[in-house]
């Protein structure tokens, strides 16, 4: 998730946010599970009556601008355990993407499940 948050800055395409999350998961051996039928997107727009800026997906070239709000969720199929579900709403600012929650992300340290790598 952190890789996606770091990639979400002014002028970046939504596809690059998706790519950043996939890169971390692919490096940990989950590459085949980063694409359909397992996963199609790494987040989505928020709002009532609007889904802008759209899905955090490889086919979304929407350029991020200041004030956009969307959800980054690196949900992932892990064949050893099932699906990992997590997410963070972010606001795009001049300083980058700022998480809108107050609780810091804490990675699980159980190496046997290899979940710690999903939080880089």
Indicate the CATH number for domain 2-119. 3.90.230.10
Instruction: Look at residue 77 and tell me whether its pLDDT is greater than 90.
Output: no
User: What does the pLDDT look like over 7-28, one tens digit per residue?
Assistant: 999 999 999 999 999 999 999 9
The answer for residues whose C-beta is within 8 angstroms of residue 13's C-beta and 6 or more apart is: 60, 61, 62, 63, 64
> What average pLDDT does this structure show over 62-89?
90
**pLDDT-derived band of residue 40, with 50, 70 and 90 as boundaries?**
confident
Q: Which of 71, 6, 11, 63 is nearest to 45 (CA)?
A: 71
Kindly report the number of other CB atoms within 10 A of residue 4's CB atom: 25
Q: What are phi and psi of 46, to 5 degrees?
A: -125, 155
Rg of the chain over all Cα atoms, to the nearest angstrom:
14
The answer for residues whose C-beta is within 8 angstroms of residue 14's C-beta and 6 or more apart is: 53, 54, 55, 56, 57, 60, 61, 62, 64, 70
């Amino acid at each position: 998730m952190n890789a996606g948050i770091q990639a979400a800055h002014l002028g970046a395409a939504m596809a690059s946010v998706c790519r950043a999350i996939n890169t971390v998961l692919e490096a940990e051996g989950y590459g085949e599970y980063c694409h359909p039928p397992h996963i199609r997107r790494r987040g989505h727009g928020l709002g009532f009556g609007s889904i802008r800026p759209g899905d955090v997906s490889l086919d979304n070239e929407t350029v991020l601008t200041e004030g956009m709000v969307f959800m980054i969720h690196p949900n992932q199929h892990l064949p050893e355990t099932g699906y990992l579900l997590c997410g963070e709403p972010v606001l795009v600012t001049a300083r980058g993407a700022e998480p809108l929650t107050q609780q810091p992300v804490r990675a699980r340290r159980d190496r046997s499940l290899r979940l710690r790598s999903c939080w880089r």
